Structure 1
Amino acid sequence: MKTTTTLLLLVCFNVLSTFGQQKLELSLKKDTDKTTSEAEHVYVIQVKNVSNNSETIYLKANNTSCNQINISQVNLTQKLLQTNNLRIESNEITLKAKESYEFMVKISRPLNTRLNTWNCTEITASSKDMRLSSNSLIIKTFIPNPKDFN
């Protein structure tokens, strides 16, 4: 009985460790080099397929709630771009095992966006069938009042 229980626990642990690992990794490669008063910011992000298989990856950048920020929050516009500034078709890429890919996230504020507010953009990657997922990156953006710079 003790041997069966131990064997069952080992099998469960192996299954959980196999499925519990992130097989996609996101990292910030280059921060924006514009001031906060600019209406548009570009970030370079890297996604890495750390699995042993080729995978079709779905990239997302969406507005999300900013935790621990009590001031007003606004929605901004996000675009996923290749490093040559072309749009990523269907937000999908295919990565071989252990392959990395750099892309850009352009965050823009529409005209008449409320000033002195915040936005949080969450960037994620997942396999098309949702078997694999990445860590998420949160980019916090402050929309200042330009009058405060004079």
Structure 2
Amino acid sequence: MRSFVLLFVALITFSGYAQQKLPLRIVENSKEELTKEEHWFQLEVSNTSSKTVDVLVSIQNTTCQNMAGRQQSELLFKIFDANKKEVKETLMLNGNSKSTFYIKSIRTPNSRLGSWNCANVTLLSSSRTAISQTIELRSLIPNPSNFE
């Protein structure tokens, strides 16, 4: 009976650890002037496991919360590795380390001036399941004619 209880506790501990999400954070927001068409965001993820893992970076334009009545626009996004080389497929995260990557936001010709963009960033496994928490990037698309 005692070994059954130990096995049960071990399984619960393992399943809780296996479902832990990778910590993801914004290291640096864009330092470009708001009126620029492109902005860079530096993000960092910590891989606390000993295994190297390949991740997909998912960026989805989303509705900005708590911004009722404000215009919103979609932006294009590109992902770059720590050396600012564009990533086409996946990022490789070494085990027991922190990895930095960049996201570049780009205004489209359809972006409305005087609007906001909100985008959710999540890291996905090769099976497309979320393995990090989701963070939100917010960007103002100012109208230069009435920008203060």
Per the shorter chain, which TM-score range? Answer: 0.7 to 0.9
Give the corresponding residue for 2:119. Answer: 121
TM-aligned CA deviation for residue 121 of structure 1: 1.4
Contact 1:47 1:125 in 2 (8 A): no
The two structures, once aligned, show a CA RMSD in angstroms of 2.6
Superposition TM-score, scaled by structure 2 size: 0.82
What CA distance in whole angstroms lies between the structure 2 residues aligned with 1:111 and 1:94?
A: 33
CA contact (8 A) 1:61 1:80 kept: no
> What's the offset of the Cα at 1:15?
4.8
Shift of residue 109 of structure 1? 0.7
Q: Name 1:143's counterpart in structure 2.
A: 141
Residues of 2 paired with 1:135 and 1:9: CA distance? Answer: 27
- Give the corresponding residue for 1:57: 55
Distance in 1 (CA, whole Å) between partners of 2:130 and 2:109 is 37
Gaps of 5+ in 2: none
SS in 1 for 2:46: strand
With over 3 angstroms needed to count, the CA separation of the structure-2 counterparts of 1:85 and 1:18, relative to structure 1, is closer
Aligned to 2:85: 86
Please state how far the C-alpha of 1:133 moved relative to its aligned partner.
Answer: 0.6
Residue 126 of structure 1 deviates from its aligned partner by 2.2
CA distance in 2, matches of 1:30, 1:59: 17
Change beyond 3 A, Cα 1:130–1:114: closer
User: Is the CA contact 2:122–2:134 (under 8 Å) kept in the aligned structure 1?
Assistant: yes
C-alpha change, 1:85 and 1:20, in structure 2 (3 Å) is closer
Please give the alpha-carbon distance, in whole angstroms, between the structure 2 residues aligned to 1:84 and 1:10.
43
* Deviation per residue, 1:59-90 (Å, 9 max, x gap): 12221221111112111010001243321121
Q: Which amino acid aligns with 1:21?
A: Q
Assess, with a 3 A threshold, how the Cα gap between structure 1 residues 108 and 127 changes in structure 2: closer, same or farther.
same
8 A Cα contact 1:39 1:108, kept in partner: yes
Give the count of matched residue pairs: 147
* Identity over aligned pairs, percent: 24
Cα distance, 1:132–1:64 mapped onto 2, change above 3 Å: closer
Of Structure 1 and Structure 2, the greater helix share is in 1
CA deviation after TM superposition for structure 1 residue 8, in Å: 8.9
Residue of structure 2 equivalent to 1:36: 34
